[in-house]
Amino acid sequence: MTVQAIQSRGGISARAAVLAYVVVCGLVLLIMMLLGLTMRLAQAQWLDVSPDFFYVIMTMHGAGMVGIAGLSGAAVMWYFVRRHVPVTTAVFIVNLTFFLIGAVLILGAGFIGGFGAGWTFLFPLPAHSGELWSVNAAAAYMFGLLFIGVGFLLLHLDIARGILSVYGGLGTALGAKVAFGLAPESEGPPPAVTASTMVLIVNILGILLGAVVLVVSLVNLYVPSFTFNALAAKNMIYFFGHVFINATIYMAVIAVYEILPVYTHRPWKTNRVFYMAWVLSTVMVLIVYPHHLLMDFAMPTWALVIGQLVSWLSGLPVLLVTAFGALTNVHRSGIRWNVAAGLVFIGTAGWAIGIIPAIADGTIEVNSFMHNTQWVPGHFHTYLLLGVIAMFLGFLTYLTPKSTSFWAPAGFWLYVVGGAIFTLAFLAAGSASVPRRYAVHLPNWLPYDRVGSVGAALAVAGALILVLRFLLSVKSAAREDAKA
Amino acid sequence: MVQEVVWTVSIVLMGVLAALFAWVAVGANTALADYGPMVASAYRARTWLFGLAIIVLIGVNYDTLGKLPYASSLSTASSGAAVIPVEAVAEQWAWTITPNAFTVGQTAEFHVSSKDVNHGFAIYDPDMRIVAQVQAMPGYVNVLRYTFTQPGTYRVLCLEYCGVAHHEMNADIKVAAH
């Protein structure tokens, strides 16, 4: 079944809307990568950056990258799910507009207002600036996040409406009936629908809880006598943050399900195990967040034990279903490798490989030694830089008109090799107890920073080539019909 | 010690996965005549892998969940008279630790709290390796026990981002030989 998107009133086509997303994502991604490179160069003492500006950059990089991972995932999800359910282009555009308004507010809060409380705005730090940023700057940042959250909420609700109109219920669209043996495998929904359903379930809950803690923090900014329990706020922030960033992966992985089969000429086989994995992932994404609080000894021990156990369990669907599925789909398929297929394949590998250090850090005994060291950015950059963003760049290249130029493979290898060096430098530093989020590093830590800087520079160069290729050909990309 | 084990095991497993992806990618140019039997054997392999993963999961979790650092999990034997209570209070951007001098073999029970925002209380040994940590939170007192094993200057670093001088928020703990 193919369903066209409902056109926006202004007549913007669905394809043009997706291209607008990809342009914005590509540009913001490059800016945020450059901010990340700046931080590594500053830590390596190859660039002079004052600590207060370093922490502004750190906050902007964190918020920007989480936002852009979400937006690029949304572009992938919407592009493919609209083949199966009716969705509204106008709502898709509204989400992009809200994102841009939010981004302007956040960038203004940082680069004009000096806001540097970290992207997680951990309560009550936004109200304790040490005179470095004003209450209004902190509020602008939070309103920015609220705008972005509202945009995503509208997008998920519109996709939910479309899914319900075709499948009648979210359980059916998730594949729960097949998972529990209530329907034959042949009646299972397409992977894009299953993934979109999972994402909207978890993200709507995450965004709503995030909005609550944002509003509480906003009130606290202007009425300091209104306080909130710091541990409760931390729980809500990490629930929202964990769910949102994980949802970006589950949106982007649709590119793997849809793009790899185009080049391997093998359908992505769905079966009972596939749907069981998605049902379990839906539950586990919602209950695993206490693994961010393993060093908060005031938390109930049972919650932290669940955090550890679910961290381990949640790796299984990724490794044994999606990664295994990609390997099976590609194995001796006769594929003629190109950059788009290579990037989504690398994206699957990055996601799977990143699970290993993530599970290690989700183990309480290990977390005592690794928490808030550079091990943490090491593992999440593995499955964001080499996972989600690799999948997005694969999608971007998939939309770019074919070319035999040398530049695309060059961009691919720079990105992959640089990304691997960059993430390994973080992990090595973490195992040597180098803290994360430090503007100034001790002399003993510099070798890790310098190797990491070289890797980051290579990865930025690779992304620059891939994104520029797309931007230079976006007009012809807009003219091309959907490829699949 | 834990760091070295985790680093080595992680790198080996990550390397195995990377090698598997590389092997499949390199060999993918040659097409199989029939996809069906390959899928069937892959699914059989997956069942075995699932079984292996469950065994590893149960084993590691059984082992590690027996060594929780939380106060509710500390044994009575280790909470005897030798434990020295220590107040550790965080405030942007300094630590107040009382007392802050010990001898090797003594067990300190740190009562960690914060006067303003979230901080991270991480103890680094004289070789600048983390040996224990806990969060410092406004409104809560987190209890962390640690037995000093070597003489020298241990350092306390803040490991939760707390504002512009976060990287300067540290303190020393002196540990004498005996």
Distance of CA B3 to the CA centre of its chain: 8
In terms of Cα–Cα distance, which of A291, A303, A297 is closest to A360?
A: A291
Report pLDDT for B81: 57
Element (H, E) at A409: helix A407-431
- pLDDT, one tens digit per residue, over B20-79 is 999 999 999 988 878 888 888 888 999 999 999 999 999 999 999 988 999 776 665 454
- Per residue of chain A (484 residues), what is the pLDDT tens digit? 344 444 444 457 888 999 999 999 999 999 999 999 999 999 999 999 999 999 999 999 999 999 999 999 999 999 999 999 999 999 999 999 999 999 999 999 999 999 999 999 999 999 999 889 999 999 999 999 999 999 999 999 999 999 999 999 999 999 999 999 999 999 999 999 999 999 999 999 999 999 999 999 999 999 999 999 999 999 999 999 999 999 999 999 999 999 999 999 999 989 999 999 999 999 999 999 999 999 999 999 999 999 999 999 998 888 888 999 999 999 999 999 999 999 999 999 999 999 999 999 999 999 999 999 999 999 999 999 999 999 999 999 999 877 778 899 999 999 999 999 999 999 999 999 999 999 999 999 999 999 999 999 999 999 999 999 999 988 777 776 544 4
Contact A447, A40 (CB under 8 A): no
CA distance to A39, A248, A249, A427, per residue, from A382 (Å):
18, 14, 12, 10
Give the three-state DSSP class for B160: coil
Cβ within 8 Å of residue B54, ≥6 positions away: none
Tokens of B132: 């224990």
Yes or no, beta carbons of A327 and B68 under 8 Å apart: no
Domains of chain A by residue range: 14-479
Rounded distance between C-alpha atoms, residue A95 and residue A89, angstroms: 10
CA distance to A267, A307, B20, B32, per residue, from A333 (Å):
11, 39, 16, 6
Mean pLDDT for all residues in chain B: 93
Yes or no, beta carbons of A337 and B28 under 8 Å apart: yes
Yes or no, beta carbons of A295 and B130 under 8 Å apart: no
Yes or no, beta carbons of A297 and B92 under 8 Å apart: no
Report pLDDT for A10: 47
In terms of Cα–Cα distance, which of A123, A164, A118, A169 is closest to A141?
A: A118
Residue of chain A whose Cα is closest to the Cα of B17: A353
Rounded distance between C-alpha atoms, residue A482 and residue A473, angstroms: 15
- pLDDT, one tens digit per residue, over A253-265 is 999 999 999 999 9
Contact B130, B84 (CB under 8 A): no
Tokens of B130: 């983390």
Yes or no, beta carbons of B53 and A330 under 8 Å apart: no
Name residue B136's amino acid: A
The string of DSSP letters for A96-154 reads HHHHHHHHHHHHIIIIIT---STTTT-TTGGG--TTSS-HHHHHHHHHHHHHHHHHHHH
Number of A/B CB contacts below 8 angstroms equals: 223
The string of DSSP letters for A306-329 reads HHHHHHHHHHHHIIIIIIHHHHHH
Question: For domain B71-176, is the CATH number 1.10.287.130?
Answer: no
Give the three-state DSSP class for B74: coil
CA distance to A326, A331, B166, per residue, from B25 (Å):
10, 7, 45
Residue of chain B whose Cα is closest to the Cα of A432: B129
Into which CATH architecture does domain A14-479 fall?
Up-down Bundle (1.20)
Rg, chain A, Cα only? 21
Give B-chain residues touching A118 at CB under 8 angstroms: 161
- If pLDDT is split at 50, 70 and 90, which confidence band does B162 have? very high
Report pLDDT for A477: 74
Yes or no, beta carbons of B164 and A51 under 8 Å apart: yes
Residue A392 sits at the vertex; the CA angle it makes with A391 and A397, to the nearest 5 degrees, is: 100
Contact B88, B110 (CB under 8 A): yes
Give B-chain residues touching A444 at CB under 8 angstroms: 128
Tokens of A206: 């995450």
Rounded distance between C-alpha atoms, residue A344 and residue A262, angstroms: 12
Rounded distance between C-alpha atoms, residue B72 and residue B142, angstroms: 11
Contact A187, A179 (CB under 8 A): no
Tokens of B113: 């709290």
The string of DSSP letters for A214-256 reads HHHHHHHHH-TT----HHHHHHHHHHHHHHHHHHHHHHHHHHH
Give A-chain residues touching B141 at CB under 8 angstroms: 298
Contact A387, A350 (CB under 8 A): yes
- pLDDT, one tens digit per residue, over A344-369 is 999 999 999 999 999 999 999 999 99
Residue B157 has pLDDT above 80, yes or no: yes
Q: Choosing among A229, A265, A353, A417, which should be mutated to test the B contact, i.e. which has the most B CBs within 10 A?
A: A353
Give B-chain residues touching A337 at CB under 8 angstroms: 25, 28-29
**Minimal Cα–Cα distance from B175 to chain A, Å?**
20
Give A-chain residues touching B49 at CB under 8 angstroms: 320, 324
pTM more than 0.90: yes
**Minimal Cα–Cα distance from B18 to chain A, Å?**
7
Report pLDDT for A401: 79
Element (H, E) at B119: strand B119-124
Rounded distance between C-alpha atoms, residue A14 and residue A89, angstroms: 6
Tokens of B66: 């027996």
Give B-chain residues touching A432 at CB under 8 angstroms: 3, 129
Report pLDDT for A411: 97
Averaged pLDDT, B87-102: 97
- pLDDT, one tens digit per residue, over B115-132 is 999 999 999 999 999 999
In terms of Cα–Cα distance, which of A324, A276, A317 is closest to A175?
A: A276
